[in-house]
Amino acid sequence: MNRWTPQSIYSAKPWILIASGAGMALGGFALSLSDGDWTVWRGLVCVVGAALAICGGAILQMRQTYRAQSKWRRERSR
């Protein structure tokens, strides 16, 4: 059974992923640059951050494509 999610939370999820992913990636880069050392954990933080940002962007694109091709939207525009 699917749980209902309020529209504001549903709309904010991909942006939260993008913002947190970008923050993690940039934070990992900044920490590595300030310390002058690149560790495995900082590299992992950057990779995970980039993956989160990419997933958030993909979710936004899929939602946009789905809405553009939606039957309800096509019928409404007639």
DSSP 21: H
| 22 Cβ contact list (under 8 Å, min separation 6) | 49, 53
Look at 67 and 45; give whichever has higher pLDDT. 45
pTM of the model: 0.79
Across the range 34-38, mean pLDDT stands at 90
